[in-house]
Amino acid sequence: MEKKKGKLILENGVVFEGSLFGYEQTSVGEVVFNTSLSGYQEIITDPSYYGQIVIMTYPLIGNYGTNEIDIESEKVQVKGLVVGNYENDWSNFDGINSLDEYLKINKTIGISGIDTRALTKMIRSEGAMRGIIADDLINEKELLAGLNEAPVMAGLDLVKFVTTKKSYVMRSGNPEYRIAFYDFGIKQNILREFLKYNVEIKVFSAGTDYTELLDYKPHGIFLSNGPGDPEAVMYGIENAKNLIDKKIPVFGICLGHQLIAQALGGKTYKLKFGHRGGNHPVKNHLTNKIEITSQNHGFAVDTDSLNKDIIDITHTNLYDGTNEGLRHKKLPVMSVQYHPEASPGPNDSKYLFDDFMKMVKN
């Protein structure tokens, strides 16, 4: 593979030089790191990463190529991929394309040969920041100027870029229950998990008024994961509030969790460098057991802001004590910050889909 020189410039002015792969372009985004050892294809196609440049801390990326199974949305969502060593000669029985080919098809840039350890340490100490990946020949000053004009993540509604434009229906088996989904940037594996039950799913665009969901006469409501700042998704919070009031079972994951927390009067805040990886231990306070979880979020729910008279804290992150889940004391409402659908990551928390379907059945 021919190597073309490129660079990653951070808003603090630090420049990392490497070689480009994937689709050549200049690309700006919030630079975040993910500690998963595998699962790069799921990560780059996860809509929750929309607008971000993702660093993989595991240094060898591309080993098993890309396939038709590990796809979490219809396209690559990240603005760029930063790796230590891009491995072009992949080997796997499910593989179809190399990661380079896959990024080219999906018009996304990658940069390899970066000291991802130094870069990750910088982001851990200085916090997530914007960055730009570009061809080595482009003038640095010009790039930095462009970078500083790019929007910051806080206050940004990115959901509108990734939500479905039209609603659609999916079924499995002989559907006994109807579940209405708000798509804030849904991962395919959540749909796959739900379709293991006898359900009909109708997926609605994020901005749809809650009354349209009620017209569907759902037995349950699901609020999906998605990118950006939850506080910028005011319409999502309003709709969640109204649906919770209707006493229909509601389940939220990730951004869905944050919107539910806000709808119940809680607050969210931006984490310094976020949780992104497949090894976060979370304590389930209902069972006292530990789950190893898949995580991807830059914002968190402020535990102190939750009204403990109406809300039970169900899950806590053992790394930093941040909130990972809640349940309403009286109403059928549950949500988690992490990703029980995994993909990538461990399958320890799949029981949550069972728990929700039990709520729906009652």
**Is residue 44 close enough to count as binding other proteins by CB under 8 A?**
no
The strand pair at 168-171 and 199-205 is best described as antiparallel
DSSP labels, 22-81: ES---EEEEEEEE--SS-HHHHHT-GGGTTEEEEESSSEE-TT-B-SSS-SSSS---SEE
Closest by Cα among 45, 220, 230, 91 to 156 = 230
State yes or no: is 341 an active-site residue: yes
Asked about 126 being catalytic, the answer comes back as no
Whole-number minimum distance, CB 21 to other proteins, in Å? 16
319 binds other proteins (CB under 8 A): yes
Q: How far apart are CA 252 and CA 261, in angstroms?
A: 10
What is the rounded CA–CA span in Å between residue 52 and residue 48?
9
Residues 62-101 that bind other proteins (CB under 8 A): 63-64, 67, 69-70, 84-85, 87, 89-94
Rounded to whole angstroms, the Cα distance separating 250 from 96 reads: 38
At its nearest, how many Å lie between other proteins and the CB of residue 61? 11
Start-to-end CA span in the chain (Å): 58
Q: Is 59 in the site for other proteins (CB under 8 A)?
A: yes
Q: Residue 280 or residue 327: which is nearer to other proteins going by CB?
A: 280
| Cβ closest to other proteins, residue 70 vs residue 229 | 70
Figure out which of the listed residues 344, 349, 353, 359 binds other proteins, where binding follows CB under 8 A. 344
Tell me how many degrees the CA angle 140-154-337 measures, rounded to the nearest 5.
120
Subset of residues 270 to 309 that bind other proteins, contact rule: CB under 8 A: 277-281, 283, 288-290, 292
Contacting positions for other proteins (CB under 8 A) = 35-39, 41-42, 57-60, 63-64, 67, 69-70, 84-85, 87, 89-94, 116-117, 120, 277-281, 283, 288-290, 292, 318-319, 342-348
| Residues annotated as catalytic (active site), given as ranges | 254, 339, 341
